[in-house]
Amino acid sequence: MTPLRPGDPVMLISPDRKVRIVFLEPGRQVETHHGVIAHDDLIGHPAGRVITTHKGYPYLVLEPSTADLIQHLKRRTQIIFPKDAAYILLRLNVHAGKRVIEAGTGSGGLTLALARAVQPTGRVYTYEERAEHQALARRNLTILGLDAYVTWHVRDIGEGFLEQEVDALFLDVRTPWEYMPQVKAALKLGGFFGALVPTTNQVSQLIDALYTHDFVNVTVEELLLRAYKPVAARLRPEDRMIAHTGYLIFARRGDETARAWAQPHLRPVAARRQAEEEGIPHE
């Protein structure tokens, strides 16, 4: 049995399946519309059991997953959904010891997933132009003990990144194609690039910019997650789903040697003309 300790996050699920996450503090209590739960009745006991409010209503007590924590973050911006965040970690090869840049911080949804993945020896460098957004994200991560693995920059990424030779770099900003020179200056050769954009027009602009700047292995993907009603006798999908979050674009940083290797017919017109002038064969 692992007893809950002060500072631990716990997920409380009401009889009508409403979920909330609280951080345990001795002497405090949770006010619910079914009555009160004292934190002291949770501290020292394991999660995974049902506790009753002072009015006798049953609440399920669970340890929240990373997906639960992201979904219940206090937020000022749209956040990256857990289905996308999980895949981003795998595609960018983010694990303990890696150095990763992300922008914008937003509410810290992706920052949370990145920090949990790179700890204890790696680091996340997060950039956000709006101080109030980053202040909330920082609070969100501090309460989870993840602040120690993150360097916070309030800075427009148009001014460039302050780190170099990072292993991976992810952009969740409206116009990622505008920052390719800055990305190239910060990301190590062969390093992992990723971005999320909500519209196909943005995807087109981004892949054009990636080819122009000698990125290779460019992919465009989207993830559709369909939940099912968990009723064994009548198993079928939920009636509603979140049908669109964003398109995921991934690439690797190349240099001028990649230009001849890359598929020139995929590159934008200007870059293709330049390749022809340089005598680089295509098709």
Q: What is the DSSP string of 167-192?
A: EEEEE-SS-GGGGHHHHHHHEEEEEE
Enumerate the H helices of the chain as residue ranges: 66-71, 82-91, 109-118, 131-142, 180-186, 200-212, 256-261, 269-277
Q: Using the minimum distance from each CB to ligand SAM, give the nearer residue, 53 or 111.
A: 111
Contacts of residue 18, Cβ cutoff 8 Å, sequence gap at least 6 = none
How far is 167 from 185, CA to CA, in rounded Å? 12
Size of the site for ligand SAM (CB under 6 A): 22
Nearer to ligand SAM, 117 or 157 (CB): 157
Cβ count near 84 (within 10 Å): 24
89 binds ligand SAM (CB under 6 A): no
**Minimum CB distance to ligand SAM, residue 248 (Å):** 12
Instruction: Tell me which residues in 66-85 interact with ligand SAM (CB under 6 A).
Output: 77-80
Other CB atoms within 10 Å distance of the CB of residue 130: 15
By CB under 6 A, tell whether 128 contacts ligand SAM.
yes
Which residues, 6 or more positions from 140, have their beta carbon under 8 angstroms from its beta carbon?
73, 74, 107, 108, 112
Q: Is position 274 an interface residue for ligand SAM (rule: CB under 6 A)?
A: no
Q: Is the distance from CB of 212 to CB of 176 less than 8 angstroms?
A: no
**Residue 84 to residues 39, 78, 91, 129, 264, Cα–Cα distance (Å):** 33, 13, 10, 23, 30
Per-residue interface string for the shown chain with ligand SAM, residues 129-158, x marking contact by CB under 6 A: xx--x----------------------xxx
- C-beta of 24 vs 173, nearer to ligand SAM: 173
Among 122, 172, 209, 262, binds ligand SAM (CB under 6 A): 172
| Residue number, 64 or 264, with CB nearest to ligand SAM | 64
- Residue 176 as a binder of ligand SAM (CB under 6 A): the answer is no
Judged by beta carbon, residue 156 or residue 163, the one nearer ligand SAM is: 156
Binding range to ligand SAM, per CB under 6 A, among 23-31, 59-67, 106-114, 246-254: 106-114
Applying CB under 6 A, which of residues 9, 64, 82, 104 lies at the interface with ligand SAM? 104
63 contacts ligand SAM (rule: CB under 6 A):
no
User: Is 14 or 78 the residue whose CB approaches ligand SAM more closely?
Assistant: 78
Of 58, 54, 48, give the one whose Cα is nearest residue 14: 58
* The token pair that represents 157 in the structure block: 């990424």
> Please, which of residues 202-261 interact with ligand SAM by CB under 6 A?
none
Minimal distance, residue 150 CB to ligand SAM, in Å: 13
Question: Nearest Cα to 217, choosing from 193, 200, 199, 183?
Answer: 193
Distance in Å, CB of 241 to ligand SAM, minimum: 20
Of 193, 198, 187, 188, give the one whose Cα is nearest residue 210: 193
List the one residue from 9, 64, 82, 106 that touches ligand SAM (CB under 6 A). Answer: 106
Summarize as ranges the residues that interact with ligand SAM (CB under 6 A). 77-80, 103-104, 106-110, 127-130, 133, 156-158, 172-174
